[in-house]
Amino acid sequence: MTVPLIAAFLASAGIPLYIHLPSFAAELGIGLGTVGYLLFGLRALDFVQDPLLGRLVDRFPTYRSYFVSGAFVGMGVGFWIAFVMQPNIFGLVLGLVLVFTAYSLGTILFYGQGAAIVGAGTDSAHLRFAGRRETGALVGIVVAAILPGVLGGFYGVRQGYAIFGVVLAAAAIAIWLFSRSFWTPLATGRQESQSFRGLLQPRVLQLLLIALLNALPVAITSTLFLFFVEDRLVLGDYAGLFLVLFFLTAGMSAPFWSWASARFGARQVLLCAMSLAIVSFIGAYSLPVGAAWQFGLICAASGAALGADMVILPALFANVLMKQGIATGMGFGVWAFAAKISLALAAAIVLPVLQSSGFSPKGPNTAEALQRLNFLYALLPCGLKALAMVFVAQLPRDKKHPLVPRRVD
């Protein structure tokens, strides 16, 4: 119960924020282009801080409890500042810096602790643990993605976001207190390299590149999701249901992908899931206005594909770190940055491009603006996913432990 619960809370600071920040910022009078550049700037901060946070965690293991406290309290305070106080752009930046920095620290600690619990086991062991973790994360994404809309329907948009901030701040403190026993330091019984040179090994770099490329399509569709549903399909009343369907399917599929990867090999299964995602994205491009059930099927298919992404790649990366003797804090610091920079790149690229077409959220839009939205949401992710597949296909395969290189001492 503890692992899914922690994962659910941490996930609230990931994809859900990128879904809601554009519309939330619009309520505060901040333009789409400004939001895109703001998010990219915050990710530039992560470029520096994520590896350093990982190094700090590895360097001072006896201070783990303090790091954990800082992560949960920092996220709680950041959520309060951003959503409850609803400040000007400078206050919003402060709140988001707190949220994302604390989220980075919490993610590094969580993934590192999971790797230590499983140890240098097989891919199957890491995949089973990842299945529990990512199922919890997907539940958290669903709740955080739909809650502002539900609350906004009852209390108004801005008040709904304020209550959303209160809920997340309270959850931060409650889960921190509930999970304290989980963070007990574990002896790994192995020598860990804390040099950044360890991350330059070909297999590590290959997995990091795949993670970045593979995350970009989901980052783009998450950033543009509400705009596509409300302005392109004119199905704003169903947005919450579509989000639930997407992430619920992802969560339900996670155990299947975990089993299939252990049974048939991670590379083959991941390629199948990526192909499913491409078919889904292509299908979204040709949808007519009001195509509710068709878009529902696309949400289900692309959600199932996301389940594979979230289970397989982190598990493989954790196993590589353990087998190669690389410090998990430092390794997952870089991994966290790779995951988040995809969201920032998506926002920094697609939001200004969309704004340049004259697109206006919930406003009258020209055919050119809607076509630009259609291309960015549906076709651009296909090309990026296909590029990621090229690199996945180049991964080696080992019959006993797929994709994990043997360590040479």
Give the model's pLDDT for residue 120.
52
Local confidence pLDDT in tens for the 409 residues of the chain = 788 899 999 988 877 887 788 888 888 888 877 887 887 787 778 767 877 888 888 888 888 889 999 999 999 999 999 999 988 888 999 999 999 899 989 988 988 888 777 765 555 666 677 777 877 887 888 889 889 988 988 999 899 999 999 999 999 999 999 998 888 765 444 445 555 566 667 777 888 888 888 889 988 998 899 899 999 999 988 887 898 888 888 878 888 888 888 888 888 999 999 999 999 989 899 999 999 999 999 999 999 998 898 888 887 787 777 777 777 677 777 777 777 778 778 878 888 899 888 888 877 889 899 999 999 999 999 999 999 999 888 876 654 444 443 333 3
Give the model's pLDDT for residue 199.
67
Exposure of 177 by Cβ count < 10 A (0-12 exposed, 13-18 middle, 19+ buried)? exposed
Give the model's pLDDT for residue 80.
96
d(C-alpha 398, C-alpha 72), whole Å: 39
Give the model's pLDDT for residue 401.
42
Give the model's pLDDT for residue 229.
94
SS3 content of the chain, % helix, strand, coil (to 5): 85, 0, 15
CATH number of 2-183+194-393: 1.20.1250.20
The residue count of the chain comes to 409
Which residues lie across from 193 on neighbouring strands? Answer: 326
pTM value > 0.85: no
Sequence-distant (6+) residues with CB within 8 A of 13 are 75, 99, 100, 102, 103
Give the model's pLDDT for residue 119.
64
What is the residue-wise DSSP string for 66-121? HHHHHHHHHHHHHHIIIIIS---HHHHHHHHHHHHHHHHHHHHHHHHHHHHHH-S-
Radius of gyration of the chain (CA): 20
Q: Phi then psi for 326, rounded to 5 degrees? A: -95, 135
Which tokens is 51 given? 């590896």
